[in-house]
């Protein structure tokens, strides 16, 4: 059983090393601002987020409206930052983590 501990240690180190690269997984979070209609938010999501469709965009808009925020994209950091910039340009309150 003591051989399992060293196997887990390199995994933690690999995770730390990956964190320094550009391909680090990130997420785009949109916060409720009460200044956009559902239609505006859905249109922005469909325009700015790859693979988004109107049904999924509505679900996310509803979650933002009722829960205060929602993760609208998870993936490569560069892509997340670009999506975040586009959504901010559309007037949404956005965070990229």
In a domain, 58, yes or no: yes
In a domain, 56, yes or no: yes
In a domain, 2, yes or no: no
What is the per-residue pLDDT for 67? 97
What is the per-residue pLDDT for 6? 38
In a domain, 16, yes or no: no
What is the per-residue pLDDT for 34? 85
What is the per-residue pLDDT for 64? 97
> How many domains are contained in the chain?
1
What is the per-residue pLDDT for 23? 63
In a domain, 12, yes or no: no
Rounded to the nearest angstrom, the gap between the alpha carbon of residue 50 and the centroid of all alpha carbons in its chain is: 12
In a domain, 10, yes or no: no
What is the per-residue pLDDT for 22? 56
Structural domain range at position 34: 23-96
Domain containing residue 87: CATH number = 3.30.1390.10
In a domain, 79, yes or no: yes
| Model pLDDT for residues 73-90, shown as the tens digit of each residue | 999 999 999 999 999 999
| Low pLDDT (below 50) residues in the chain | 1-20
What is the per-residue pLDDT for 21? 52
3-state secondary structure the chain: CCCHHHHHHHHHHHHHHHCCCCCCEEEEEEECCCCCCHHHHHHHHHHHCCCCCHHHHHHHHHHHHHHCEEEEEEEEHHHHHHHHHHHHHCCCEEEEC
Phi-psi region of 23 (alpha: psi -120 to 50; beta: other; left: phi over 0): alpha
What is the per-residue pLDDT for 24? 76
């Amino acid at each position: 059983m003591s051989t399992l501990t060293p196997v887990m240690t390199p995994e933690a180190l690999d995770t730390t090393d990956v964190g320094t690269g550009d391909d680090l997984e990130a997420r785009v979070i949109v916060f409720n601002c009460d200044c956009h209609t559902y239609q505006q938010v859905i249109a922005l999501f469909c325009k700015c987020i790859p693979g988004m469709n109107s049904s999924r965009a509505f679900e996310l808009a509803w979650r933002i409206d009722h829960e205060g925020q929602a993760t609208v994209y998870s993936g490569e950091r560069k892509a997340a930052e670009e999506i975040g910039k586009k959504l901010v340009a559309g007037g949404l309150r956005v965070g990229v983590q």
